[in-house]
Structure 1
Amino acid sequence: MSTGQPMNHRNRLLVLAAAVAVLAVVATASVLHAAGRADRKDQAQAGGPPIAAGHVSLAASAERLMVFRNMAWGPHRDELSTVPAAAPDGPRTASGVKCLRFYAAAGTGICLQAVHGAVQDTYRAVVLDSRLHELRRFPLGGIPTRARVSPSGRMVSWTVFVSGDSYAGTAFSTRTSIVDTRTWQLASSLESYAITREGHAYRAADVNFWGVTFADDTRFYATLATGGKTYLVQGDAAAHTVRTLRENVECPSLSPDGTRLVFKKRVKGLSPDAPWRLYALDLHTMRETPLAEHRSVDDQVVWSDAHTVVYSLAGDYGSDLWTVPADGTGTARRIMTAALAPAYVGG
């Protein structure tokens, strides 16, 4: 038989509040635990290595790193992530910054992003500093497809699809821009540049440019399409001019020593949906060498060193990264699953 005083109304409320608080803590813990299990499950399904949030930098460092768009399912999908260049299949560190296309050099990054709206998505180009902080942003008139930074980090370029979403056919239109990050002067479209084709001034309504690769802060190479043909052009960003060098060159990528380009070339007899093979071009002799990747590659390769290039091919979760020697020897091999748009920093 109890000898205590009957519980008054105030005490009942206190007990009820305490019970509710305990239940809330238990429910929150259960939700977090379930979410964690789901994230780990998503990550495991991606077939990739562990991914965790952390610090990602584009600054010079003792260790050489790969920075890339993480394509693995889970909470860090589409985020810029990093791994040691020597261990591309190792654990990933995710930055929290999401990009559709990305590139970086000398502490400057270019991140092409989607802005999700209630009715439709829009896109923007965001120039990043070495800490991935925004320096300047520019609205984009289409779907991001290519991005590059000059070796010094000063000049930045990007390409978008204004109409269409593939280079395989002919029903598409692109716009390629270059911005000087010292003055923030923007050339919104290379179509405003003066064109010299085969030694003569040239103008046409169907001109398209894409795939800039920089030699320095003035000289660059890119693809020009017009009249049903594609051309390798050399450009001058100060003079706002380009001149054609060679036919059937798309998405060139300049070697670190500036002597060679690796590009995708349309090869007769291949499927119209997969028409390309990778070739290297010696800029001194203009001799072409096919690379040992025999599949169609629709990408602008990245040089991982003076002898090797990296590129994307379709994978189970959007894209995997592959590598092949740039001299035609060896064989292609996959180095990363669920990854896209790599850049090498530090080291």
Structure 2
Amino acid sequence: MIALSPRIRVLVTVLAALLLAGVAVAYTALARDRPPVATGSSPVGGGPRLQVLTNGRLSTVSRADPGGPREVTELQCDRAYTAGGTVACLKPVGPLSSTGLIVLDASLRERSALPLTGFPNRLRVSSTGRMVAWTLFIDGHSYATTGFSTRAGILDTRTGRLVKSLEEFTITLDGHPYRNADVNFWGVTFTADDNRFYATMSTNGRRHLVEGDFAARTVKTLRDNVECPSLSPDGTRIAYKSAIDADPKKGWRLSVLDLATQRITPLAETRSVDDQAAWLDDQTVAYALQTSDGTNNTWSVPADGTGTPRLLVPGANSPAPSEVLAAGR
């Protein structure tokens, strides 16, 4: 080992201290200029949480402070949802339209994986965590275009029963048996019994709200111009997007349908929302909006038509009330 003179050792010590100080200043500047993000086992607050995607990575934030620090995992998804202790993730796994569905528990341990074909679009988990439903674009990437094709499927995670496409189900349209090659389904939402569900069905230029029976493999139309339904926690209302003047090219209005009275309540969000809204509770729905530069932001609005939209989680989409705990808990 080479012996250093006392003078040289002092100089080295000073230079090292200056270098460390510079690194600390640079890190502080970077942290100040980016959204607050907590990773690993860093504490991000207790209480109820909200699951979102941050730049495609599965994340959770505190419901009490949704714009604050967030726990960001390494799991990448195009769409994600969680309920009943089950986390579902749709992610591209190969070139073109190769997609994977991953089902995990509340600790993010993988329970099952399923290869699919199509571009990830919608994803839902039943309130018990048992049923998982997804929608993929097979052709096209927008519901506002003509000639698009979607495929919606359902997995029973308890029995392993798989329905690859709702087009396999028996259809009743306006009270009559129906079959047409142009039928498309998307936007499934489950009732509390893990058997019945609601979804959108399009055919012959019309878009219908349908009610389905998983065990009986049937669907029946209920009313027109209801897309991407989302059932409220109390099971009484459906949040959905409706095409303005029944023309998707004009955009969509976020509304709520009372299933008992059939009363429709347009919500205070007047911007076009092309998303399947998620209920945060019985009074509030959340949804994603994309800015002109491609940034996704999660917003919320009261479900009774009052109030104003609120920016909930900047730089995030795919909101869902979460039971996933922060890392290290």
TM-score tier by shorter-chain length is 0.7 to 0.9
Q: Deviations over 1:105-155 (max 9, x none)?
A: 1111110012255xx463111111111111111112111000001111111
What residue number does 2:220 align with? 243
For residues 260 and 275 of structure 1, the distance between their equivalents in structure 2, rounded to whole angstroms, comes to: 22
- What is the TM-score with the length of structure 2 in the denominator? 0.85
For the pair 1:79 / 2:57, whether they are aligned, the reply is: yes
For residues 220 and 275 of structure 1, the distance between their equivalents in structure 2, rounded to whole angstroms, comes to: 25
**How does 1:75-154 map onto structure 2 within 5 Å?**
78-117=56-95, 120=96, 122-154=98-130
Q: Which runs of 5+ in 2 are unaligned?
A: 3-18, 325-329
Deviation at 1:51, TM superposition (A): 3.6
**2:102 match: secondary structure:** strand
Change (3 A) 1:137 1:337: same
**1:145 match: secondary structure:** strand
For the pair 1:197 / 2:173, whether they are aligned, the reply is: yes
RMSD: 2.6
Amino acid in the other structure paired with 1:282: D
Indicate conservation of the 8 Å contact 2:152/2:166, yes or no.
yes
1:258 to 235, 252, 261: 235
**1:205 match: secondary structure:** coil
For residues 190 and 110 of structure 2, the distance between their equivalents in structure 1, rounded to whole angstroms, comes to: 22
| Structure (1 or 2) with the greater strand fraction | 2
Amino acid in the other structure paired with 1:50: V
Change (3 A) 1:139 1:269: closer
Q: Deviations over 1:193-232 (max 9, x none)?
A: 0000111110000000000000131010000000001000
For residues 317 and 146 of structure 2, the distance between their equivalents in structure 1, rounded to whole angstroms, comes to: 25
2:51 to 44, 48, 67: 67
For the pair 1:279 / 2:255, whether they are aligned, the reply is: yes
Count residues with an aligned counterpart.
302
What residue number does 2:136 align with? 160
**1:268 match: secondary structure:** helix
Change (3 A) 1:230 1:121: closer
For the pair 1:184 / 2:157, whether they are aligned, the reply is: no
What residue number does 2:208 align with? 231
Amino acid in the other structure paired with 2:64: A
The higher radius of gyration belongs to 1
For residues 269 and 240 of structure 1, the distance between their equivalents in structure 2, rounded to whole angstroms, comes to: 29
Q: Deviations over 1:212-269 (max 9, x none)?
A: 0001310100000000010000001111100000000000000010000010001129
The share of aligned pairs that are identical, in percent, is: 48
Amino acid in the other structure paired with 2:233: P
Q: Which runs of 5+ in 1 are unaligned?
A: 1-10, 13-29, 57-61, 72-77
Amino acid in the other structure paired with 1:53: G
Amino acid in the other structure paired with 1:86: A
